[in-house]
Structure 1
Amino acid sequence: MVHTNALRLLSVCLTLVPSILAWSTGVQPGQIQNLVTFGDSYTDVVNIADGGYAWPTYAAGYGPFNLYPFAKSGATCSNNLTYRPFPPVFESQIPTYISEINNGSLKLDPNTTIYTLWIGTNDVGANALETGSDPGVTVVDTVECAVNWVSALYAVGARNFLFQNMIPLQNTILYSANSYPNRYWTAERNTTAWNVQMTEVTNAGNAISRLLLRGLAPALPGAHVGLFDSYGLFTDMYNNPANYLNGTAPLNVTGCVHSCVFNLNESTGDPGVCTIANGTDRDSFLWYDELHPSEQSDRIVAREITAAIKRTSDEWTTWFS
């Protein structure tokens, strides 16, 4: 007869197996103390694009984590692919980080530090792939560049990575079928064609990044590589706003907090006719303006990124190593 205590021990061990298996990849609960962020205006904590605080600021508080922000508004992955007059990830943000590591002004323990990247919105958008502004460059090129961010930081000692894929940009006002002339594009265009193309590009790009990250992870000994499904999260927010938005105005996923309608072909120097939601009404909107998530959306991003890092939820995250 098996001893009662042995049965209890076996029961406890079997109960723990799912948790052990769940933590066999990815960072461990309580491991991360430092958050280092790269990307564009969706992540920039200085030139803030949501009218309040950017998601890394909230995540730093939720963690809590020590925040080291390198993301810059307007950025693409590389200006050698899609040129914009803003600090790109490869020609500016990564070199700045490496310089601070080398000169000793930034000292981070690789084991307790995680690196995030949210890039692609400017690479695939207006004045880039969407409008054919960089002939010969494809979404394959821009996504490969983004995934190479992992290898570039791994080479200088980073070991924990969370890659944020592109949101459903076709659901932003700028790229919707019902779009209007706005601060980001005033020239005449076929809004239906833009919407269809953006749907194809975001889905293709995200599928490529998943495959590339899955293939890359085993080649980086000691690294933890995760994919945060921004596309899935924002799709769920779009389809089920009552689960995420909590403002005092009617919930709105097709308009924005700060909307400005221009006359067709009007100079963007004129603000156009603007409508602005104020106070707690702002938290009823998925979008802040025609391109950027609202502050309430960024709170949700911060909450889910924090949950992924602390391993309290992997609902939107896949760990490849």
Structure 2
Amino acid sequence: MPWYTLCILLLAIGLSDVGGKEIKHVVLFGDSFTDQSRSHSISNGTFPGKDYQEVFPPADTAADGGVQWPWYLGLYGNYTIWNYAVGGAVCNNNLTPLFDVPDVLNGQPDWFIQDHITSNGTSHQKLHLDPDEFVVVLWIGTNDVGINSFVTDDQKANTSLVDLAECQMDTLKRMRSLGARRFILNSLIPLQLTRLYSNRSDLVIHWPEEHDGPVWHKRMFNLVNSLNGLLRSGVQSLNEQWASRSGGYVEYFDSYAFFEEVYRHPDVYFNGSVPANVTGWCHQCPDPLDFHFCGIGDCTEAERDSYMWWDELHPSEQTGRNVAMELFKKIKGVSRF
């Protein structure tokens, strides 16, 4: 979309990064909302190695049905993107184990170490990125509070939302111990707006079983807002601690408020060939009991940019473009979220 890219590039020319040096690299940790291909690499047996940078498509598609938002963020800001997110990931597999893929606290930072740090854990440890030239973006939590976990009462005993929030703070602390100094923590989105967590109870491909939709809907609203409140408080506490030490600062990106803005004003954000649609989804699975039928009745290529959601849980590629634009503005210090 030329008008979209042009606006972003013009904005980039007119702004300088807040806090000193210009950002050149963005380091990402998260789940399928951010993953560009690592989960596919793992499942195919070609476990991502050093400097892994594959982006879907053309070989496949990301969870948004096309190109994931980090690619657009790299385009808009002329950043090198180091994306360590994995579809299905949680913050800590010891708290909310789901698919046993590399988690945000331990497994994903290990890839960062492999790519950017030598002599890790020794007196000769060296970070090969300038701390003032990269920002770490953390976006996790959807799987932690979702199906097979909190919303279905399947979380491990003695695990609370406080533990989930502390895990995210611990991840930021770990990255700081490795030399990172600039961070953005994304809140959870309003998951109750997705089809999976709506107040409807009919079967869906992500949960082809009986369930009480209205109960899930109310529970997810409370889970997301409660965890986001804990995350915001945690960020404030970290910034207070780090202000008196050797530096480090965390920006809180209010993904929840941003997604609500997109939901309420869709005509500003969607420009496909049909009217903007924030309640339906593009990728159809006519038989929720058989994923082989998925794709029948999908929206057309021309219609895709009209949809907020790709499927019953994941944002669309167009929503991702909007996320990338707003995170670009966040890095530049001009986002109202």
If the TM-score is normalised by the length of the shorter chain, which range does it land in?
A: 0.7 to 0.9
2:49 equivalent in structure 1: none
Shift of residue 314, structure 1, vs aligned partner: 2.4
Distance 1:106 1:28 in 2: 20
Change (3 A) 1:300 1:101: same
1:99 equivalent in structure 2: 114
Equivalent in 182, 189, 193 of residue 215 of structure 2? 193
Shift of residue 136, structure 1, vs aligned partner: 2.7
The CA deviation string for residues 242-293 of structure 1, in whole angstroms up to 9 with x for no partner, is 1111111121111101022435xx3x55436843011120011110000000
Equivalent in 85, 109, 112 of residue 71 of structure 1? 85
Q: Name the amino acid aligned to 2:106.
A: E
Give the superposed CA RMSD: 2.0
Distance 1:62 1:272 in 2: 33
Q: Which runs of 5+ in 1 are unaligned?
A: 1-22, 317-321
**What is the SS of the residue equivalent to 2:284?**
strand
Equivalent in 7, 25, 28 of residue 34 of structure 1? 25
- The TM-score, its normalising length taken from structure 1, stands at 0.85
Change (3 A) 1:129 1:305: same
With 28-37 and 289-298 compared, the bigger mean Cα shift is at: 28-37
Distance 2:271 2:169 in 1: 35
Does the CA-based 8 Å contact 2:201-2:210 persist in structure 1?
A: no
Q: Name the amino acid aligned to 1:90.
A: L
Shift of residue 147, structure 1, vs aligned partner: 2.1
The CA deviation string for residues 62-88 of structure 1, in whole angstroms up to 9 with x for no partner, is 001111111111100010000022221
Change (3 A) 1:139 1:274: farther
The CA deviation string for residues 41-98 of structure 1, in whole angstroms up to 9 with x for no partner, is 1111115111111111000000011111111111000100000222211231012212
Distance 2:263 2:133 in 1: 34
Distance 1:152 1:275 in 2: 45
- The TM-score, its normalising length taken from structure 2, stands at 0.81
- 1:235 maps to 2:226: no
Does the CA-based 8 Å contact 1:210-1:227 persist in structure 2?
A: yes
2:249 equivalent in structure 1: 224
Q: Name the amino acid aligned to 1:110.
A: P
Distance 1:93 1:106 in 2: 16
Distance 2:276 2:88 in 1: 28
Does the CA-based 8 Å contact 2:202-2:210 persist in structure 1?
A: no
Identity percentage over the alignment?
37
The CA deviation string for residues 194-217 of structure 1, in whole angstroms up to 9 with x for no partner, is 000000011111011001110111
Does the CA-based 8 Å contact 1:143-1:209 persist in structure 2?
A: yes
Based on CA coordinates, which of the two structures has the bigger radius of gyration? 1
Q: Name the amino acid aligned to 1:140.
A: V
Change (3 A) 1:298 1:225: same
Q: Which runs of 5+ in 2 are unaligned?
A: 1-15, 41-61, 120-125
Q: Name the amino acid aligned to 2:111.
A: T
Does the CA-based 8 Å contact 1:286-1:293 persist in structure 2?
A: yes
User: What pairs up with 1:177-216 in 2 under 5 angstroms?
Assistant: 177-178=199-200, 180-216=202-238
Q: Name the amino acid aligned to 2:164.
A: T
Distance 2:88 2:193 in 1: 20
Distance 1:234 1:188 in 2: 28
The CA deviation string for residues 171-218 of structure 1, in whole angstroms up to 9 with x for no partner, is 011001135422210110000000000000111110110011101112
